[in-house]
Amino acid sequence: MKVLGIMGSPRIKGNTDLLLDEALKGAQSQGAEVEKIVVDKLKIAPCREYYGCLRDGNCVIRDDMDDIYPKLLEADGIIVASPMFFYGLTSQVKALIDRCQALWARKYILKQHLPDSGRNGAFIAVGATRGKKLFDGSILTVKYFFQSIGVKYVDELLVRGVDKRGEIEQHPSALSDAFELGRRLAQK
């Protein structure tokens, strides 16, 4: 069982990073092999709509996504973690998702078989404010991303009212909730 964590915040040891670490520890506690990708450290160009992927399912842009595609396809569990930036995912993680148009093309245009049996995904998000709709747009994005790469959206942890770096450590339950999310994901 491999669990891949996609850390979408540019802030190392920030709230998203700490939550994702706990989730990955939870997965590890069930014997899962875990890996964390810090998207901000990678060179991932935004999608340029060259649409080379419609021909053969491969993106024509050569950058760090070359290493990410196989990881996304090999993982049994995927956790996307991101702070809310203007009611959305960070541009770092959104660029990674948009580049998965190549995998979308494999599935929906080229009708290729993706390894989609029993792969599960979860979403972890934090935001400073408390709006009811704070996570709505991002949930849709992550659900559609997972669907495109053959992963089922099975779990989420959405934390409101957390702003400063590391403030999540003062939250009464978020870190243990993240650990439990990772544990559940590794058990599925």
Ligand X SMILES: Cc1cc2nc3c(=O)[nH]c(=O)nc-3n(C[C@H](O)[C@H](O)[C@H](O)COP(=O)(O)O)c2cc1C
Nearest residue to ligand X, scored by beta-carbon proximity = 14
* Cβ–Cβ < 8 Å for 26, 176: no
Measured from the CB atom, the residue of 44 and 168 that comes closer to ligand X is 168
Measured from the CB atom, the residue of 100 and 134 that comes closer to ligand X is 134
| Subset of 130-159 contacting ligand X (CB under 6 A) | 134
Q: How many Å from the N-terminal Cα to the C-terminal Cα in the chain?
A: 10
Task: Name the segment binding ligand X (CB under 6 A); options: 57-65, 113-121, 127-135, 140-148.
Answer: 127-135
Measured from the CB atom, the residue of 103 and 157 that comes closer to ligand X is 157
Q: Is 9 among the residues that bind ligand X (CB under 6 A)?
A: yes
CA distance 179 to 177: 5
- Count residues near ligand X (CB under 6 A): 19
Backbone φ, ψ for residue 92 (5° rounding) = -60, -55
Q: Which of 5, 26, 83, 182 binds ligand X (CB under 6 A)?
A: 83
Q: Is 127 among the residues that bind ligand X (CB under 6 A)?
A: yes
151 Cβ partners below 8 Å, 6+ apart?
78, 116, 119, 120, 121
Burial of 43 (0-12, 13-18, 19+ CB in 10 A): exposed
User: Footprint of ligand X on this chain (CB under 6 A)?
Assistant: 9, 11, 14-17, 83-87, 126-129, 134, 162-163, 165
